């Protein structure tokens, strides 16, 4: 009836207005414009071979320098960008910037690669694969020197579609890394169904290698990956001891503050 309807509309308006007012107060809506205002930039963290500690590539991580709020963590602004639909433009920008920065490095280190994180939302765009390939072509960047890091969260809802797109990217040489492995659920199913080349063991496991159970799980994950012909990278290595432990377990690669923090330039 009519009064109910008005109440409902008021409530909606309040919700919408409240959200907007709050967002503006916190400067959140700014994420829509951050890229165009030049406030976003990338930092690069080295990825190393655990066998000898040598750098094999980098991961590009996004940063937002807000004029009032200062440096904002991607854990804060990426989910906001995803909700607001700003993530697409930001991601294509990040891919183009990362491969452009990596290109001169490849002249001396042709086996290096750069990794860029890909939100699950990106798979809603049927043009995703074409756009990524177009960027690679424009920059004249070898597709097999790009790795896209995905997490299983969100992807599992749309597995068939994601698999098709990832397979197409893989056919062009682009590799897929499964980020934060072990943190979510359905991990094993996604390994079975997606063309994953690299598995990134979540930092939580690396933090707790002292724990017998965690050690057993990490061992098993490394073996599993090897038998599936997938490379393994351990995230968040902060000590020499963790490095030695993981190297002894035949973990292929690593990333973490012990080897290098994210840096504004690619450090070799």
Give CA–CA dist 94/116, Å, rounded. 7
Among 257, 263, 264, 268, binds ligand C2E (CB under 6 A): 257
Q: By rule CB under 6 A, what count of residues binds ligand C2E?
A: 21
Query: Is 262 among the residues that bind ligand C2E (CB under 6 A)?
Result: yes
Query: What are the residues facing 232 on neighbouring strands?
Result: 199
**Residue with tokens 């424009």, as numbered in its chain:** 138
Closest distance between Mg ion and the C-beta of residue 59, in Å?
A: 6
Measure the CA–CA gap between 151 and 112, rounded to whole angstroms. 22
Of the candidates 30, 88, 96, 149, which one interacts with Mg ion according to CB under 5 A? 149
| Residue 129 tokens, joined | 């694969």
Binding mask 187-226 for ligand C2E (x = CB under 6 A): ----------------------------------------
Q: Decide the pairing of beta strands 55-66 and 113-117.
A: parallel
Q: How far is the CB of 45 from ligand C2E (least distance, A)?
A: 6
- As a whole number of angstroms, the longest Cα–Cα distance in the chain is 73
Binder of Mg ion out of 82, 96, 180, 252 (CB under 5 A):
180
Selection from ligand C2E, Mg ion, none that 146 binds (CB < 5 to 8 A by kind) is none
**Which residues in the 107-136 window bind Mg ion by CB under 5 A?**
117
Answer yes or no whether residue 182 interacts with ligand C2E by CB under 6 A: no
From the list ligand C2E, Mg ion, none, which binds 238 (C-beta under 5 to 8 Å, kind-based)? ligand C2E
What is the rounded CA–CA span in Å between residue 95 and residue 54?
24
Instruction: Work out whether 256 is an interface residue with ligand C2E (CB under 6 A).
Output: yes
| Phi, psi values for residue 150, rounded to 5° | -120, 155
What minimum distance in Å lies between the beta carbon of 266 and ligand C2E? 15
Cβ atoms of 81 and 90 closer than 8 Å = yes
Contacts of 222 (CB under 8 A, 6+ apart): 201, 232, 249, 250, 251
Q: Binding string, 234-253, against Mg ion, x = CB under 5 A? A: -x------------------
Segment interacting with ligand C2E (CB under 6 A) among 50-58, 128-136, 162-170, 251-259: 251-259
- Assess 187 for contact with Mg ion (CB under 5 A): no
Q: Which of 58, 114, 117, 187 binds ligand C2E (CB under 6 A)?
A: 117
- Of 24 and 264, which CB lies nearer to Mg ion in the complex structure? 264
Positions that interact with ligand C2E (CB under 6 A): 45, 61-62, 73-75, 78, 91, 94, 117, 119, 149, 179-180, 236-238, 255-257, 262
């Amino acid at each position: 009836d009519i009064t109910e309807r008005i109440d409902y509309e008021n409530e909606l308006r309040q919700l919408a207005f409240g959200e907007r007012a709050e967002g503006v107060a916190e400067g959140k809506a700014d994420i829509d414009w951050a890229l165009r205002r030049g406030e976003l930039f990338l930092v690069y963290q080295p990825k190393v071979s655990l066998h000898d500690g040598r750098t094999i590539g980098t991961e590009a991580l996004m940063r937002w320098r807000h004029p009032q709020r200062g440096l904002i963590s991607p854990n804060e602004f990426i989910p906001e960008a995803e909700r607001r639909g700003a993530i697409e433009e930001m991601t294509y920008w990040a891919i183009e910037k990362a491969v452009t920065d990596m290109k001169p490095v490849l002249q001396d280190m042709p086996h290096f690669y750069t990794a860029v994180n890909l939100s699950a939302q990106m798979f809603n765009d049927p043009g995703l694969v074409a756009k990524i390939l177009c960027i690679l072509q424009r920059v004249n960047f070898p597709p097999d020197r790009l790795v896209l890091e995905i997490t299983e969260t969100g992807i599992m809802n749309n597995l068939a579609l994601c698999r098709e797109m990832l397979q197409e990217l893989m056919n062009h040489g682009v590799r897929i890394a499964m980020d934060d492995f072990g943190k979510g659920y359905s991990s094993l199913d996604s390994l079975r169904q997606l063309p994953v080349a690299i598995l990134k063991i979540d930092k939580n496991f690396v933090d707790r290698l002292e724990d017998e159970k965690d050690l057993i799980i990490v061992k098993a994950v490394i073996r599993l990956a090897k038998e599936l012909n997938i490379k393994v990278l351990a995230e968040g290595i902060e000590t020499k001891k963790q490095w030695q432990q993981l190297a002894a377990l035949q973990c292929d690669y690593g990333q973490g503050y012990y080897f290098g923090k994210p840096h504004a330039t690619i450090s070799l």
